[in-house]
Amino acid sequence: MKNFTTSGPVNPEDHYFIPHRLDEDEVHNLINDKRYFILHAPRQSGKTTAIRIFVDQLNAEETYKALYINVEPAQAARSNVIDGLRTILSCFKTDISRCFGLEDPAYAYLQREANNPMLSGGALNEFLQFWSEHTDKPIVLFIDEIDSLVGDTLISVLRQLRAGYVNRPKSFPQAVCLVGVRDVRDYLIWSDKEGKTILGGSAFNIKAESLVLADFSAQEVRNLYLQHTSQTGQKFTDEAIDYAFYLTQGQPWLVNALGRQACFVDVTDRSQPITKDVIERAKETLIQRQDTHLDVIINRLNEPRVRKIIDAIITGSTSMLIADEDDKKYVEDLGLIKRSTMTIANPIYQEILPRVLSSRFQYAIIEQSPDYKNADGSLNMQKLLHKFTEFYRENSEIWLEQFNYQESGPHLILMAFLQRVVNGGGTIHREYALGTKRVDILVTFQQQRIVLELKINYGPKALHDGLKQTAEYMDKSNATEGHLIIFDRNKTKPWDEKVYQRQEQYDNKTINLWGM
């Protein structure tokens, strides 16, 4: 029985998968034109699967000799170039023997080099020249995990490929594709040998194109899930498939992870359909479990280039609208944002990022009251926000000084406070995007739909704009009540002036206004 995979490349015999995700005509044209190019996409996007399948197709056409190689084992060599090259040549030997057999001239060459105590610093260039001159077909090379290499080892590999480029195809590969998370132009490589940072674009200035492997389309998500239906008879409702696409925006690992959790853990009775509610439960499980893929994403959050972009998006700040384009591109390449809209890449990441960033607050918060519920079991948001105001006034200055996410700190402290309470029976939906100057939060608890609009006090317009935005979001969300919370970051203003609470009327809606 096939299943949804969430670890390593897809094996079509064992896993549901979507074929032909590469623009194969474009890649063929680049190869035919003797181009060196980049293919990049975030981790767990299906790059390795797509490339390995394409390499098999290319070899079956018998025009080229195509090889896929993963150079990640050489990462441990870091800036020890000779050790790194020795490991890379060992990877070549393994993959050549597997694909073309021990009789390939390249295998005997690499066998000799494996025992060479005086390996040359140009060993990769020398090998590729030998192989190209001793084969009956032009060589096409796909080098995966290229950006896992570190320091002078990466610089050496890029420069050796560049040096041999002019000799293609008779004495060097016809085409080379570097596969990784980022475009080579984003590599900032520290050279111990030269004592300075080398730009990847300068070390590999022969790049013709940078291709991006797109996420699944809505139809591809449907096709993937229907493979499960075809095999097992277990149906997905249309609403469930649409919701899965909405939550993931087609990110392949997330799509597979939702399918695996829903079909192989939560609902194993094949007579029972996968509904939207099942997908929602699967989403919560993924967020709380923080599997390896999500853990890798999370580990990026404190990189300075990432932090300043995500910090601004969470608050809706306009400050990063003029941010360095390279920084925006870098965070996009990591799969964290959609640069076209400057929003978090998908609703699952949108949920998990503030939860992770506020987790230290969640664990530190000692609830000021054992219960925020009314007698009928409904959530008393008025009582909760009064308690939060007290808590924020007493603790925020100390906490914010120790926190990397300075702009969004107040928002994250409130989200932590809410999360601890709502985990007892409700959900929190967050919406934020760069340039909006706000965060929209919808708390659902039993039949309640409570809107919280969060803003930083940037000036006189904060109140008017906030009331308008809160009313609009209440209308959009069919809210039962609404709260506008304005944080004043002026450290010289007394707390007695910052803290207030009253009700305002706007567009026939009653809005609870909180100053902090």
User: Among candidates 45, 46, 85, 91, which has minimal Cα distance to 68?
Assistant: 91
The answer, yes or no, to whether residue 201 has pLDDT greater than 60, is yes
The answer, yes or no, to whether residue 166 has pLDDT greater than 90, is yes
Comparing 420 with 248, which gets the higher pLDDT? 248
Helix ranges, 304-407 (H): 304-315, 325-333, 347-357, 359-364, 381-401
Q: Residue 164: enclosing H or E segment and its boundaries?
A: helix 151-164
- Topology classification of domain 218-289: Helicase, Ruva Protein; domain 3 (1.10.8)
Comparing 501 with 429, which gets the higher pLDDT? 501
User: What does the H/E/C string look like for 432-490?
Assistant: CECCCCCEEEEEEECCEEEEEEEEECCCCHHHHHHHHHHHHHHHHHCCCEEEEEEECCC
User: Among candidates 175, 182, 109, 110, which has minimal Cα distance to 149?
Assistant: 182
Full DSSP string of 60-125: HHTSSEEEEEE-GGGGGGTT-HHHHHHHHHHHHHHHHHHHH-TTSHHHHHHHHHHT-TT--TTHHH
Output the six-digit token pair for 409. Answer: 């700190």
pLDDT at 318: 77
Mean pLDDT on 257-269: 97
The answer, yes or no, to whether residue 9 has pLDDT greater than 90, is no
Q: How many CA atoms lie less than 13 Å away from 349 in the CB half-sphere?
A: 30
Q: Tokens 């073309």 sit at which residue? A: 100
Of 45-49, 87-91, 319-323, the one with minimum mean pLDDT is 319-323
- Residue 265 is given by DSSP the state I
| Domain positions in the chain | 24-212, 218-289, 356-515
Comparing 354 with 71, which gets the higher pLDDT? 71
User: Among candidates 37, 34, 35, which has minimal Cα distance to 51?
Assistant: 37
Quick one: what percent of the chain has pLDDT higher than 90? 60
pLDDT tens-place string over residues 34-65: 999 999 988 888 999 999 999 999 999 999 99
13 neighbors 153 (Cβ within 8 angstroms): no
- As a whole number, the mean pLDDT across the chain is 90
Of 32-41, 69-78, 316-325, the one with minimum mean pLDDT is 316-325
113 neighbors 89 (Cβ within 8 angstroms): yes
List the end-to-end C-alpha distance of the chain, in Å, as a whole number: 57
pLDDT at 53: 93
Of 19-28, 213-222, 304-313, the one with minimum mean pLDDT is 304-313
Helix %, strand %, coil % of the chain (to 5): 50, 20, 30
pLDDT at 260: 97
pLDDT tens-place string over residues 421-480: 776 678 888 888 877 888 899 999 989 999 999 999 888 889 999 999 999 999 999 999
SS3 for 18? coil
160-168: long-range contacts, CB 8 A cutoff, minimum separation 24: 160/122, 160/124, 160/125, 160/128, 161/36, 161/124, 161/125, 161/204, 161/206, 162/203, 162/204, 162/205, 162/206, 163/122, 163/125, 164/125, 164/128, 164/129, 165/36, 165/206, 167/129, 167/132, 168/34, 168/132
Helices (H) and strands (E) in the chain, counts: 20, 15
Mean pLDDT on 110-119: 88
Query: How far apart, in whole angstroms, are the C-alpha atoms of residue 47 and residue 67?
Result: 15
Comparing 239 with 312, which gets the higher pLDDT? 239
The answer, yes or no, to whether residue 68 has pLDDT greater than 80, is yes
403 neighbors 471 (Cβ within 8 angstroms): no
Question: Which is it for strands 175-180 and 36-40: parallel, antiparallel or unpaired?
Answer: parallel
pLDDT tens-place string over residues 393-409: 988 888 887 788 888 88
98-105: long-range contacts, CB 8 A cutoff, minimum separation 24: 99/59, 99/67, 100/65, 104/135, 105/130, 105/131, 105/134, 105/135
Q: Tokens 């039993």 sit at which residue? A: 446
pLDDT at 369: 47
Output the six-digit token pair for 261. Answer: 């959790």
Architecture of domain 24-212: 3-Layer(aba) Sandwich (3.40)
